[in-house]
């Protein structure tokens, strides 16, 4: 499955309150909201549920969580509780999607839940975890710290 990494453009849809000020993370957050929006439109316009696109959304959530965990690891953030939230959410969404596939119903509920959960997660968890960083702390290519800073371990 191809996963495209979007860029946050000047026409970015994320409100200020949902920005974490790390371009890679903000771009992925926006991509997830875009995918949810387009699935809502697809489901509204048709009685068919595009299961492949729902699977793709779930895969993108997993890809995005792995990105956050990689960046947190690179700068030595304590991310254990946050990563646990990611793992629990992925399991919950997997279960809900399996139920959706089995029943063929509640696609809108699934999408509303994704959107609600994700917005809350960004504003309450991501901004808290990443608020101590800025893009100046990370190398734009490698995602690693530019140099020893307060978030690096001695061995990093
Ligand atoms: Fe997160």
**Distance (Å) from CA 32 to ligand 1 centroid:** 12
**Distance (Å) from CA 129 to ligand 1 centroid:** 8
**Distance (Å) from CA 77 to ligand 1 centroid:** 13
Instruction: Give the global pTM.
Output: 0.80
Domain boundaries, the chain: 21-137
**Distance (Å) from CA 48 to ligand 1 centroid:** 31
CATH topology of domain 21-137: 1.20.120
Q: How far apart are CA 137 and CA 151, in angstroms?
A: 9
The DSSP line for 100-144 is HHHH---HHHHHHHHHHHHHHHIIIIIHHHHTT--GGGB-TTT-S
Q: What is the pLDDT of residues 59-90, one digit of tens each?
A: 999 999 999 999 999 988 999 999 999 999 99
**Distance (Å) from CA 25 to ligand 1 centroid:** 9
Q: What is the pLDDT of residues 101-137, one digit of tens each?
A: 998 778 999 999 999 999 999 999 999 999 887 655 6
């Amino acid at each position: 499955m191809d996963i495209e990494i979007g860029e946050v453009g000047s026409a970015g849809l994320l409100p200020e309150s949902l920005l974490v000020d790390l371009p890679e993370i903000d771009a992925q957050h926006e991509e997830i909201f875009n995918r949810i929006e387009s699935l809502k439109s697809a489901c509204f316009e048709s009685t068919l549920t595009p299961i492949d696109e729902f699977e793709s959304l779930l895969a993108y959530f997993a890809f995005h969580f792995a990105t956050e965990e990689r960046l947190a690891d690179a700068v030595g953030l304590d991310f254990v509780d946050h990563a646990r939230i990611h793992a629990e959410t992925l399991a919950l969404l997997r279960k809900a999607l399996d139920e959706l596939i089995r029943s063929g119903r509640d696609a809108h509920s699934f999408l509303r839940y994704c959107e609600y959960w994700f917005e809350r997660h960004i504003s309450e968890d991501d901004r808290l975890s990443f608020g101590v960083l800025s893009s100046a702390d990370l190398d734009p290519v490698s995602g690693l710290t530019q140099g020893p800073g307060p978030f690096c371990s001695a061995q990093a």
